[in-house]
């Protein structure tokens, strides 16, 4: 079983690296089709299934889906171990089926698994909970599986930039990093130092509570009109956190998505009006 799992992770790594929409560490989408923007998943299998149903990629060949922050949350084994890696494997299968239309982005919880550092969620240290469950499932080959997971997570892109001015990433740099944020990280080869504080990918995925001044600086730097991110918990499934920032969550029963027509520009108000509760999807 571990050999097939490692093979899946390696094929997923290759699919992320060879995504035809990828330029460096940035996914560039043109002015045709649509993008389904989602929030953090955190192991919520039912919401993932509903997102897949809504996107219906078999019958919508011009639709793209972004999935991010998959691990840490959801189902547990009998001893309380985190089984979110199983959903990660299923999302990779989804990516492999639609390699140029399913786009997986690096999140802050991914950086903690890559770096083998601690991260708390719901009062638990999630990497230990995940490692424990992996150990019970894969036994003597757990270390090889963990390495393959790290390598896969590291292969993910960092952001999506749409021709209509919408920028999507797991989060954005906090104000104190906005001036000095290294935007070359989107064009060059990602290095391990980038996912360690204060590396560019770390700063990108961990930022919180950006001011409007900071957002405006980033919009100018990144040539973006509106930002959509996850990362910050939202009990309603969404919030407007600035003139040009929307935060989405897809990891609970009030989770939301935003379908985006790539052929037209949007104001933040128009994107807010397009929000769909995942629970409303059959």
Boundaries of every domain in the chain:
2-280
What per-residue confidence (pLDDT) applies to 1?
65
Q: With left for phi above 0 and alpha for psi between -120 and 50, is residue 246 left, alpha or beta?
A: beta
Q: What mean pLDDT do residues 10-32 have? A: 98
- CA–CA dist 67, 107 (Å, integer): 10
Contact 183, 52 (CB under 8 A): no
C-alpha of 88 from chain center = 11
**149 vs 216: CA distance, rounded Å:** 35
For the four alpha carbons of 241, 43, 38 and 177, in that order, the dihedral sign comes to positive
For position 122, what pLDDT does the model report?
86
Distance separating alpha carbons of residues 25 and 259, to the nearest angstrom: 23
Average pLDDT over residues 227-245: 98
CB of 175 closer than 8 Å to CB of 211: yes
Find the mean pLDDT for residues 189-203: 97
Q: Which residues contact 239 (CB under 8 A, 6 or more apart)?
A: 246, 247
Beta pairing, strands 63-68 & 102-105:
parallel
Kindly report which listed range (100-104, 177-181, 266-270) carries the lowest average pLDDT score: 177-181
pTM above 0.85, yes or no: yes
Whether the pLDDT of residue 16 is over 80: the answer is: yes
Q: Give residue 282's pLDDT.
A: 85
Mean of the per-residue pLDDT values for the chain?
A: 97
Distance CA 58, CA 63 (A): 9
In sequence order, what are the residues at sequence separation of 6 or more whose Cβ sits closer than 8 angstroms to the Cβ of residue 157?
16, 19, 22, 25, 26, 27, 103, 104, 105, 106
Q: Is 280 exposed, middle or buried (0-12, 13-18, 19+ CB in 10 A)?
A: exposed
First to last CA, the chain: 33
Render pLDDT for 108-158 as a digit per residue (tens, 0 to 9).
999 999 999 999 998 999 999 999 999 999 999 999 999 999 999 999 999
**φ, ψ for residue 123 (rounded to 5)?**
80, 5
| Structure token digits, residue 87 | 């959903």
Q: How confident is the model over 75-109, as pLDDT tens digits?
A: 999 999 999 999 999 999 999 999 999 999 999 99
Q: Which CATH superfamily is domain 2-280 in?
A: Metallo-dependent phosphatases (3.60.21.10)
The count of other CB atoms within 10 Å of the CB of residue 118 is 10
Q: What is the mean pLDDT of residues 11-37?
A: 98
Supply the pLDDT for residue 277: 98
**What percentage of the chain carries pLDDT values higher than 90?**
97
DSSP state of 1: -
Does the pLDDT value for residue 2 go beyond 80? no
State the Cα–Cα distance between residues 201 and 193, nearest whole angstrom.
9
């Amino acid at each position: 079983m571990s050999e097939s799992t490692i093979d899946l992770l390696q094929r997923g790594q290759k699919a992320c690296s060879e995504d035809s929409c990828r330029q460096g560490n940035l996914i560039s989408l043109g002015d045709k089709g649509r993008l389904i923007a989602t929030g953090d998943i955190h192991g919520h299998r039912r919401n993932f299934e509903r997102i897949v149903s809504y996107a219906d990629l078999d019958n919508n060949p011009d639709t793209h889906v972004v999935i991010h922050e998959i691990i840490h949350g959801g189902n547990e084994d009998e001893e309380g171990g985190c089984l979110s890696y199983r959903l990660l494997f299923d999302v990779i299968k989804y990516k492999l089926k639609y390699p140029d239309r399913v786009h997986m982005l690096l999140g802050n919880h991914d950086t903690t698994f890559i770096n083998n550092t601690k991260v708390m969620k719901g009062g638990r240290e999630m990497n230990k909970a995940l490692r424990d469950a992996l150990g019970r499932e894969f036994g003597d080959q757990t270390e090889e599986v963990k390495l393959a997971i790290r390598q896969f997570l590291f292969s993910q892109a960092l952001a999506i930039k749409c021709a209509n001015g919408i920028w999507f990433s797991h989060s954005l740099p906090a104000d104190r990093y906005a001036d000095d944020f290294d935007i070359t990280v989107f064009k060059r080869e990602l290095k391990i130092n980038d996912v360690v504080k204060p590396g560019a990918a770390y700063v990108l995925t961990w930022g919180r509570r950006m001011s409007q001044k900071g957002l405006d600086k980033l919009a100018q730097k990144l040539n973006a009109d509106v930002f959509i991110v996850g990362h910050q918990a939202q009990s309603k499934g969404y919030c407007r956190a600035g003139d040009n920032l929307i935060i989405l969550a897809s990891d609970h029963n009030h989770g939301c998505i935003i379908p985006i027509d790539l052929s037209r520009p949007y104001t933040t108000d128009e994107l807010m009006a397009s929000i769909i509760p995942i629970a409303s999807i059959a």
